Chains A and B, each alone.
Chain A
């Protein structure tokens, strides 16, 4: 009974000294159970009932002597028990206080209380929180409590020799059994209970109480939402309809956080997904169960645990043996995977099917089919497979039901047999099931991906094709893609392509083509992982894919180009792609009628055209024109994004820009600067930057009103877009006429405010854009002075990014031409900041830094200040740089510094004269 009392009972927490049992349904049930136990003990276990306690139980009672029957000696208002032996015992009952020395006495006394029995039991428990100690003595009691209800009774029996102790041991066992029984019953009551928001609030209050103070058990407990609806729920209304009340994040002190959903049916742990998750959450829960003494927390988690066990039992039943042995390994794998492949996505929690699905005829049908699928011989299995194909496998609930009934495991097991017909049937079902995300994960968990890969070697071409298509679906998430690679799947898939290309017989041609198509699909899915891209490339997949490009079948071309496109983000693969005739075919397919194919081709060109050779090849094969034509598809944003991307990269070569301009692409691009999704805008801005490198285009952009929308884009929040737009504006601003428009639109202050952006790339490109603006604007000084944002400059000079530093140095060099600004900058201490940077080895930074120093020297005694800070010596070293720009600007800086005689001394001692003469 100790455990049920210490852990299940809900004590009031506010005043520990006078702790009372709260009047909750749980406690009431608990008290009733204990009462039944006490009432029956006299008749059922007479020996144990007579056992004398180590110390009497004592509490304030409402029973008076007149309630007692004849079994007591009664004198005034004090009573003694008959059973007390000859020695002078303390009285059993004095007014308002009772002392009980055995369970028998307790039983009789409580019976005397008649209609106040429950109150009496409650008072007894409240008065004797340590009743186990009093009954059994401290040693056994602590053993009982610490080890849970399972202290070793046998050893206890051996420990004690005499008869009294044997009874004691029996009593211990009795108490334990009762304890377990009560706990079990309480938990059963709980499972039936319906929670309401008020109850949850009480639980949360207690949990929050646990997370306070120094020796707290929990780091934090919080709701995910601060908003509370009128009915006390915090879940959104459409989830409330499902019975959900609120979501809670519990962070324990030394393990991670638990996400918990509270709903009317109970409290659930979120994200119980694959075996890894299962293991982790399992161990976490045990940990908390052991470490947490908080009653409510214990209950909450124990309840969660029970519910959780219930929900996974059916899944465990299917693959129990496997998971038990591999859960540890999976955990290790899982953690290594997250570190090795950075693209690992969050494991999403899966949705359980709606509960009424389990009552539907469809579910019964599934149950029947899976039963016979497993039971019958291969004849029946094949029949059942055909019947299962009639199920609506697009529904998640159907798929999950098949899995939970053990059907998925069976289907995967079929893959390891020699029955080709059954394999084909199973694969046909698996292809459809594998479109459902939770099933993909389950298939990987059940080692299904390995089996699929093994079937890629099958003698039957159809099996190969179906297996490849299933892999294409399953390899939707990183863990599966890794398994495909590790079990040699990439090589086998590439072999499928090879088989098709080498197949001679006409009769097999169609089948082989289908297999190659599925192989390409699977490769496409797999190529989303970086390591797989490399694997495809090193297994010689690219040339084969290139050969397949000559096909005229769209369903073949899309996955082939898709794979090439994915692989093209690896530099090593790009070289292979260029060296083959692949570019030629990509260009050819740009004119296809199929939009998906056009998208993939454009994306492939976008990635490949990073290299000069590719850009030349695209021009050679007349690929620029079709790209321009794609710009007319303004409705398909995906296509538009891909096409503008390809144009951007191709326009990095000036020759291409000139050809593009024949078609007035700049005008079309400028038109795309408004009302387009960010993906398109990024590419358009990038392309504009390249176009504007041609001087003539600077006037064109002004004429077609492209500047205004660009300036407006500076208000965007997309970092990549900001980088490209600032670059485009920077290219614009080198033209004085354009600058007028930028000034009118207050472009400089917008650019200046971008220096506040946390992204160093944005900072740098904004600073670079500011440089030409200052140079070309008549009003620049006024503008810059008017917003007084120089405070940012010293901060940026402390950046760790060389590009940011160089750009800011360039800005300083431009600003320093204005005397009053230079004065402000000097006050901000840029002399020492610039000097600190002089140790850099980056030539670009050295160039702009020397420039900045050179211009800053023209104010007051900055020349001497630089000398004192030690800027001269490094500048002399710059003279040895191989970069002529560095040498040039360093010379200029040294010239300015030489106005101070002390600096001349330093220069001389460091050999500047010698270096200069060389």
Chain B
């Protein structure tokens, strides 16, 4: 597939990157670079040469590797991976992102998820954030029936739901979730880590097999 020069370049790159990220060793980084290049290759067919994965291609990856389905959340994941906000995920961003996404410690994951749900970057998960995150949960029904009254009901329901959630997670009762609130809730019940949408890989083993181990064989 590639020449030995190419191979060497990748090894060198892996060397440098593996020093920057915590949870992957050099071999694993190498595998991830291979995978990244393969994905980039696939993308090139549609448009010219680019520096990284674009939003759509990235979402496809998320869907295929981690079985994520929620479009809204996938957008958020892309935003977080794409640190410099240029609309592309470069190879370095890819590996750094995955390292938290995939092998992060609980603390790192808490921060990652909190960041994910803090839509406006205000440092708090506000009522508006929660509303946006949860509004799709009833969306399907709305389309089916599509009547004004139902829409109002829907709003009421989401509001009621929001009250329940805030009552549970807003420990300092200021009407919004600070990181401390979030951390405290997660400490009490680990499942709340992904309270507002699944954004961590469901199937670690599958990913391990598909990306890390399989590539090592090659």
Contact = CB atoms under 8 A, between A and B. Distances in A.
B109 to A, nearest CB: 13
Interface string A422-458: 0011001000000000000000000000000000000
Nearest to A369: B164
Given A382-B195, A385-B191, A424-B191, A368 B164 contact: yes
A389 interface: yes
B189 A379 contact: no
B15 to A, nearest CB: 26
A376 B137 contact: yes
Interface in B190-215: 191-192, 194-198, 202-203, 205
Contacts of A375: 138, 157
A365 to B, nearest CB: 8
B134 A379 contact: yes
Contacts of B203: 459
Contacts of A428: 191
B84 interface: no
B191 A379 contact: no
B168 interface: yes
A158 interface: no
Contacts of B202: 420-421
B191 A376 contact: no
A459 B208 CA distance: 14
Interface in A380-416: 380, 382-387, 389-390
B22 interface: no
A372 B158 CA distance: 10
A437 B196 CA distance: 34
A380 B137 contact: yes
Nearest to A371: B157
Contacts of B189: 386, 389
Interface in A671-691: none
A387 B168 contact: yes
A377 interface: yes
A376 B198 contact: no
Contact of A377 (B137, B191, B192): B137
Contacts of B137: 376-377, 379-380
At the interface, is chain A mostly helix, strand, loop or mixed?
helix
B138 A383 contact: no
A387 B164 contact: yes
B70 interface: yes
Contacts of A386: 168, 189, 191-192, 195
A421 B164 contact: no
Nearest to B205: A459
B164 A382 contact: no
A385 B214 CA distance: 37
* Max chain A Cβ within 10 angstroms of own Cβ: one of B137, B202, B203: B137
B60 interface: no
A377 B197 CA distance: 10
Contact of A379 (B140, B168, B198): B198
Interface string A336-379: 00000000000000000000000000000000110010011111
B161 interface: yes
Nearest to A459: B205
A379 B192 contact: no
B108 interface: no
B75 to A, nearest CB: 15
A372 B164 contact: yes
Interface residues of B, number: 24
A368 B164 CA distance: 9
B160 interface: yes
Given A379-B134, A386-B168, A459-B205, A368 B192 contact: no
Nearest to B72: A379
Contact of B196 (A379, A387, A389): A379
B132 interface: no
Interface string A828-861: 0000000000000000000000000000000000
A376 to B, nearest CB: 5
Contacts of A385: 191
B151 to A, nearest CB: 15
Contacts of A424: 191
A567 B157 CA distance: 53
Contacts of A387: 164-165, 168
B42 to A, nearest CB: 27
A176 to B, nearest CB: 41
A380 B158 CA distance: 10
Nearest to A389: B189
A384 B198 CA distance: 15
A421 B197 contact: no
Interface in B130-180: 133-134, 136-138, 140, 157, 160-161, 164-165, 168
Contacts of B164: 368-369, 372, 383-384, 387
B131 to A, nearest CB: 13
Contact of A421 (B165, B191, B205): B191
Contacts of A420: 202
Contact of B198 (A368, A372, A421, A425): A421
Nearest to B185: A386
Contacts of B134: 376, 379-380
A419 to B, nearest CB: 9
Contact of B161 (A376, A421, A459): A376
A383 B195 contact: yes
B194 A421 contact: yes
Nearest to B139: A377
B90 to A, nearest CB: 30
B191 A372 contact: no
A865 B195 CA distance: 96
B51 to A, nearest CB: 33
Contacts of B195: 382-383, 386
A376 B138 contact: yes
A378 B164 CA distance: 16
A379 B197 contact: yes
B108 to A, nearest CB: 17
Nearest to B133: A379
A380 B160 CA distance: 12
Nearest to B165: A383
Contacts of A380: 134, 137, 161
B66 to A, nearest CB: 13
A425 B192 CA distance: 10
A421 B140 CA distance: 22
A352 B110 CA distance: 43
A853 B137 CA distance: 92
Contacts of A369: 164
Interface string B54-92: 000000000000000010000000000000000000000
Nearest to B189: A386
Contacts of A376: 134, 137-138, 161
A382 B161 contact: no
A314 to B, nearest CB: 22
Contacts of B160: 368, 372
Contacts of B198: 378-379, 421
A215 B136 CA distance: 69
A92 B47 CA distance: 106
B204 to A, nearest CB: 10
A380 B191 CA distance: 12
A421 B113 CA distance: 15
A229 to B, nearest CB: 48
A380 B137 CA distance: 7
* Max chain A Cβ within 10 angstroms of own Cβ: one of B140, B157, B205: B157
30 contacts: A368-B160, A369-B164, A372-B157, A372-B161, A372-B164, A376-B161, A377-B136, A377-B137, A377-B140, A379-B70, A379-B134, A379-B196, A380-B134, A380-B137, A380-B161, A382-B195, A383-B161, A383-B164, A383-B192, A383-B195, A383-B196, A386-B189, A386-B192, A386-B195, A387-B165, A389-B189, A390-B168, A421-B191, A428-B191, A459-B205
Given A372-B161, A383-B196, A420-B202, 6 more contacts: A375-B138, A376-B138, A386-B168, A387-B168, A421-B191, A424-B191
Nearest 3 pairs of A and B residues by beta carbon: A376-B137, A380-B137, A377-B137
